[in-house]
Amino acid sequence: MGSERILVVDDEKLINWSLVEMLEDAGYLVESAACGAEARKKFSSFGPDMILLDIALPDANGMELLQEFKEQDEHVMVIMITANADLDSTVKSLKLGADEYIGKPFNLDVIEHRVRQILDKRRLKKQTTTAKRILRRSSDFDQLVGSSAKMIEVFKMTKICAESDCKTILILGESGTGKELVARAIHMHSSRAEAPFIDVNCAAIPDNLLENELFGHEKGAFTDASQREEGIFECADGGTVFLDEIGDMPLAMQTKILKVIETRRYRRVGGRANLEANVRIVTATNQDLPALVEQGLFRGDLYYRLNVMCIHLPPLRERIDCIPSLVDYFIGRLNAEYGKKVQGVEAETMAYLKQYDWPGNVRELRNTIERVMMLDPAPMLTPNFLPTEIKRPSAPLLSDSYTPADSLSAGGRNMDITLPPDGITLEEVEKMLIQQALLRYDGNQTKAATCLGMSRDTIRYRMKKFGLN
Ligand SMILES: Nc1ncnc2c1ncn2[C@@H]1O[C@H](COP(=O)(O)OP(=O)(O)OP(=O)(O)O)[C@@H](O)[C@H]1O
Ligand SMILES: [Mg+2]
């Protein structure tokens, strides 16, 4: 403790000085600012844990600054200080997120005491959220849930990758399909499990900083490099580096990564020593890499390198058999997290969940279950609180405006069969259903026949009759 950073913002020199003295004596790192402009500058350069903020500044309103700072860093603690300690501004500043309000003239001892209390509270809160995060993450790791044939393939590949210690792995799949979960599972089940797993989101780090982030730099490598700094490859030594959103990696960086993969060596920015890269590189993307290669946005040679060991995560709509086990799993976890006693979902709810196409995949399913659990008091979750896009009444299979094209694009997910006002022949119905079944199973006649409860010979005969190929 005591090494926390406090920024004192007050234009009255004497007050500013006495606060700084008192806080430094108490062991904090302190900087001060005499106006709004300076406060903004120091806020970014100094990165305070706490700000003592005067409301009336020559060039700014403390209330506005308070809002600004809290928006930029929700964890920063702010104590408002003012000469006119009226109730209105107290209430207003507390509403805007101030953590404390102190009127002038004040007693320095009282301030010191409050500062300590508030910082203690902040530290505790931070610790518990980190602990929670670690807990949540570790419970996420081994829990890759799934029961469909496609997911069993994924589990097999994950195991092979984990055990083989191949140096690079590529994980493909739409957003929310579990790519990060698989990357972590590979690490956790590999001989590298004791060493770090570090993930880097290539899309979130500015191009010019990525190399520095990955490889580190030597002292003097650039203006701000006042000392040598280790990069992620060095920190993850012996472990796994997860390069997420690899499709967004700039071309220049792709060249460097390819070189690391080929030579197992790299240099810090501004460095000349060749360091050994003793890490496994797991990469992931939801983009179409071959298309990016075609467009010249992704290096073909890097793609072929990465593609050697590749795990493809199918979208949730292609593994609806996984939905019941995922729902059970999420309910169990959320019950534990929120102290709830939800037992499951009603059959009708499950039917909706199974027919929706889940563009956000497993993440969207988890969020949906969480939302319904918060709103629905029933022990078996009803469809009442499902979002409308999930409950959107499925287009009647045979409605007024029915055209075969509509039905085909609906992909066979319709539940209700309604007789159109002017009727329809059963032959037409049969033809459309056979078309849909064939579409669903990529033209596999055996599967299409099974799903319609007919033999393969029957479906062949009908297809011929209806002129379907
Ligand atoms: N098979 C699964 N079993 C249990 N939870 C899963 C599964 N797949 C995904 N999840 C959960 O869904 C959420 C999204 O997963 P994850 O972050 O791994 O997806 P992603 O493919 O990396 O998505 P994005 O491309 O958006 O980064 C996480 O909360 C994860 O725990
Ligand atoms: Mg991800």
Whole-number pLDDT of residue 347: 94
Q: Which two tokens stand for residue 357?
A: 């196409």
Helix, strand, coil percentages in the chain from 3-state DSSP, rounded to 5: 50, 15, 35
In short, whether 362's Cβ falls inside 6 Å of ligand 1 is: yes
pLDDT tens digits, residue range 162-183?
999 799 999 999 999 999 999 9
What per-residue confidence (pLDDT) applies to 389? Answer: 83
Which of 171, 177, 288, 317 has most ligand 1 atoms within 8 Å of its beta carbon, as the pocket-test mutant? Answer: 177
Helix (H) or strand (E) holding 266: strand 265-266
Q: Calculate the alpha carbon distances from 406 to 410, 443, 466 in Å.
A: 6, 19, 19
Q: Does residue 101 contact residue 77 with C-beta atoms inside 8 Å?
A: no
| Cα separation, 366 vs 343, whole angstroms | 16
Rounded distance between C-alpha atoms, residue 282 and residue 76, angstroms: 35
Of 283 and 456, more confident: 283
* 144 Cβ inside 6 Å of ligand 1: yes
With bands split at pLDDT 50, 70 and 90, how would you rate the model's confidence at 140? very low
CATH 1.10.8.60 region(s) of the chain? 317-391
**Which ligand sits closest to the CA of 171?**
1
- 119 and 50 in contact (C-beta within 8 Å)? yes
| Arithmetic mean of pLDDT over the chain | 85
Encode pLDDT of 340-360 as tens digits: 999 999 999 999 999 999 988
Name the residue with the closest Cα to ligand 1, atom 31.
140
Which atom, in ligand 1's list, is nearest to the CA of 144?
Answer: 3
Is pLDDT above 70 for 406? no
What is the sign of the dihedral through the CA atoms of 99, 103, 108 and 113?
negative
What class does CATH assign to 5-126? alpha beta
Instruction: Tell me the CATH architecture of domain 317-391.
Output: Orthogonal Bundle (1.10)
Residue 412 binned pLDDT confidence (cut-offs 50, 70, 90): very low
Tokens read off for 30 = 């302190």
Q: Which tens digit of pLDDT belongs to each residue from 291-337?
A: 999 999 999 999 999 998 999 999 999 999 999 999 999 999 999 88
181 lines ligand 1 (CB under 6 A): yes
For the Cβ of 366 lying below 6 angstroms from any atom of ligand 1, the answer is yes
Atom of ligand 1 nearest to the CA of 286: 25
Which of the ligands is closest to the CA of residue 145? Answer: 1
Bond from prior residue into 105 cis (ω within 30 degrees of 0)? yes
Name residue 154's amino acid.
V
- 177 close to ligand 1 (CB < 6 Angstrom): yes
179 Cβ below 6 A of ligand 1: yes
The predicted pLDDT at position 129 comes to 55
Report how far apart, in Å, the C-alpha atoms of 403 and of each of 174, 334, 394, 400, 410 are: 30, 43, 15, 9, 11
| Residue 201 pLDDT greater than 80, yes or no | yes
pTM over 0.85: no
User: CA 335 to CA 93: how far, in whole Å?
Assistant: 37
CA distances from 442 to 172, 323, 436, 448, 459 (A): 22, 22, 10, 9, 15
Residues carrying CATH 1.10.10.60, the chain = 404-466
Residue 221 has pLDDT above 50, yes or no: yes
pLDDT above 70 coverage of the chain, percent: 89
| Contact in structure between 139 and 131 (CB atoms under 8 Å) | no
Paired tokens of 87: 């109730």
Most confident of 86-100, 104-118, 286-300: 286-300
pLDDT tens column, 32-83: 999 999 999 999 888 899 999 998 889 998 889 999 999 888 889 999 887 7
Classify burial at 289, counting beta carbons within 10 Å of its beta carbon; exposed 0-12, middle 13-18, buried 19 or more: buried
Paired tokens of 83: 């000469």
Number of the ligand 1 atom closest to the C-alpha atom of 322: 1
Q: Which fold has domain 149-314?
A: Rossmann fold (3.40.50)
Q: How high is the pLDDT of residue 1? A: 45
- pLDDT of residue 85 exceeding 60, the answer is no
- Cβ–ligand 1 distance for 176 under 6 Å, the answer yes
| Superfamily designation of domain 404-466 | Homeodomain-like (1.10.10.60)
Is there an atom of ligand 1 within 6 Å of 369 CB?
no
- Alpha helices by DSSP H, listed for 196-316, are 207-215, 232-235, 251-263, 289-294, 300-306
**pLDDT tens for residues 244-257?**
999 999 999 999 99
- Pairing mode, strands 275-276 and 265-266: antiparallel
The verdict on the CB of residue 178 being under 6 Å from ligand 1 is yes
Q: Which atom of ligand 1 is nearest to the CA of 177?
A: 21
Q: At 289, is the pLDDT very low, low, confident or very high (cuts 50, 70, 90)?
A: very high
Q: How far is the CA of 178 from the centre of ligand 2 (A)?
A: 7
The pLDDT-based confidence of 418 (bands split at 50, 70, 90) is low
Highest mean pLDDT among 202-206, 380-384, 395-399, 429-433: 380-384
Nearest CA to ligand 1 atom 10: 178
Q: Is 202 exposed, middle or buried (0-12, 13-18, 19+ CB in 10 A)?
A: buried
Q: Rounded CA gap, 155 and 161, in Å?
A: 10
Q: Please list the residues that pair with 54 across neighbouring strands.
A: 81
Question: CA 8 to CA 15: how far, in whole Å?
Answer: 10
Q: Given the CA of residue 178, which atom of ligand 1 is nearest to it? A: 18
Q: Are 381 and 350 in contact (CB under 8 A)?
A: no
Nearest ligand, CA 181: 1
Sheet holding 50-54, edge to edge: 29-33, 5-9, 50-54, 77-82, 100-103
* CATH 3.40.50.300 placement within the chain: 149-314
Q: Residues of CATH 3.40.50.2300 domain(s) within the chain?
A: 5-126
Nearest to 179 by CA among 270, 129, 246, 248: 246
Best mutation site among 133, 172, 180, 337 for ligand 1 pocket (most ligand atoms within 8 Å of CB): 180
Question: pLDDT confidence of 86, banded at 50, 70, 90?
Answer: low
Which residue's CA lies nearest to atom 18 of ligand 1?
178
The confidence score (pLDDT) of residue 17 equals: 93
